[in-house]
Structure 1
């Protein structure tokens, strides 16, 4: 999500600190100033959410020593050095140590802003990648991403926890957009291999020779290990496993058989087969298929998840509304029914796209949920699922979504929710208990 990056300005001259701070603040940055490197080091840690602008010539700890200290704390932290005339060789040395760039006094303020923007983009990407890596190694975080209280999702989470603790290889198949890659990461993160490597490769992304070299060797020119070696002791996730050529299927089976029981390295095959009248079983040699499919997970399609559809839509639209700096759309009972009835051929991935477009439509004050659902399907009329549902189910799903949204908006304030929904406290408590909603989740 979009966020303002900080800029730490370190300079012993007060006028210089203030002028740089004022200029960058006008450019939209959140600035903080420090009169010395020692003072700045008390604040600047490994995950500092921004960049640093520092003078080189300072009393006490100079800029070069300061830079070395920062690089020892976080070598990816962008540091822009400011140097006086004649100190360019020193600035070049700073670049060698790890500085992002340098500016020579007197510098053009616009040049400073442009440099700060580029450095901030680099920093944002670094921090996002770190956060993603932490998420992908944290089983608790990953399980929370599998949103939904429907029975099929409860069973899916139980299956992940059970199979995550097991030693056998796993096959994950099912429709596109159902979160199969997320499930593969979760299986690794909740099991005994969580602290070891998770190595992923798409079998559809390379020709047979390249794929064979990446998987089994010889070692790459850059000195990297074949993936079966890199993943040793951890998990090797093969996406699009149905695209693995027959000769490589034989080599993979040999690798599996040579490991014995329990296997040192777990193989997770992810099938994304889109062809009609064909299954992953048709594409893999039987002995390999049955070695993998002994433990199998098939995530449920979105259309079978009932009111999870509304929960997911609400969460996604709130996230996009925050990102775009606008209000999330309020869903009417009719629109809730349309969301519940849609076939969702693209599953959760499609729902995320619809939620984002709904937020953008709402920001412009145009469009409708029905138009978005129609544009995502070939038919010219809104598409409904083949299995109808009783009106009572639609009403209850909408009611749960309405209470959930209102509780979330008022951060668990029962009084505010009672006033907005015109409900007596006893009725609200009964409905929250009926729908499994707890006030503690909103505080």
Structure 2
């Protein structure tokens, strides 16, 4: 297990605030790095790979919004908490539009509140990373199954198909995904109507699994026998 303390990057042109915030976070168990403007901050992100960034908006050379624009172009984007002396609604709205996780106005009245915001943001980022790693493992597992796995839209176009489409049917994933009606075209003509009817029923009922025997036609024209199982997709938690 990784026990290294999280690194917080403080990007602010106020030396007093940088020093005070750095000391407080160090006492709270974090490592810190500092930058005096947005340009230095972007260099520090690439060099230090912080777990979280505390960002001022009004700075010389490159301001906070310029920093956020540069950060958006980097492959890894740690969470950002804005700490700004300006509380205009337009700044707050623009900050959240650019993906910051929190907005705290200067002067910092409670470092306990800041510490809580930092911990919450880091914990949420770690959860997201675990979810992304789990999704990547699941994707790799599905890709390498020796079975043809696909996701089908209601118009019978493919949303996803795994690599088995090459070994089983002779088509690359790219070719299969780019061809409208690819799946139905792979069903033997004598079986196509019953497969279409079963898929229509699966889309209609949304809860029942449809299983049927059918023949699939490979790219070279040969036929293989298959058992096709159509299962409804899990509902999208975001609607």
Give, in whole Å, the separation in 2 of the partners of 1:101 and 1:44. 19
Match of 2:178 in 1: none
Match of 1:288 in 2: 227
**Structure 1 segments unaligned to the other structure (5+ residues):** 137-180, 192-197, 201-213, 220-224, 237-244, 264-285, 290-443
Alpha carbons of 1:114 and 1:17: their partners in 2 closer, same or farther (altered >3 Å)?
Answer: same
Match of 1:392 in 2: none
Any conservation in 2 of the 1:46–1:74 contact (CA below 8 Å)? no
Match of 2:216 in 1: 258
Match of 1:218 in 2: 154
- Say what the alpha-carbon RMSD is for the aligned residues: 4.0
Any conservation in 1 of the 2:54–2:81 contact (CA below 8 Å)? yes
Task: Determine whether 1:188 maps to 2:144.
Answer: yes
Aligned counterparts, 1:65-80, within 5 A: 65-74=66-75, 76-80=77-81
Aligned counterparts, 1:103-182, within 5 A: 103-107=104-108, 108-132=110-134, 136=137
Any conservation in 2 of the 1:6–1:32 contact (CA below 8 Å)? yes
Alpha carbons of 1:75 and 1:32: their partners in 2 closer, same or farther (altered >3 Å)?
Answer: closer
Aligned counterparts, 1:8-87, within 5 A: 8-45=9-46, 48-74=49-75, 76-87=77-88
Any conservation in 2 of the 1:47–1:127 contact (CA below 8 Å)? no
Any conservation in 1 of the 2:10–2:53 contact (CA below 8 Å)? yes
Match of 1:234 in 2: 163
Aligned-pair CA distance for 1:186: 8.6
Give, in whole Å, the separation in 1 of the partners of 2:11 and 2:227. 61
Aligned-pair CA distance for 1:131: 4.4
How far does the alpha carbon of each residue in 1:407-428 deviate from its partner, in whole angstroms, 9 at most, with x for none? xxxxxxxxxxxxxxxxxxxxxx
Give, in whole Å, the separation in 2 of the partners of 1:103 and 1:288. 58
Give, in whole Å, the separation in 2 of the partners of 1:14 and 1:247. 64
Any conservation in 1 of the 2:82–2:104 contact (CA below 8 Å)? yes
**Structure 2 segments unaligned to the other structure (5+ residues):** 166-206, 229-239
Match of 1:92 in 2: 93
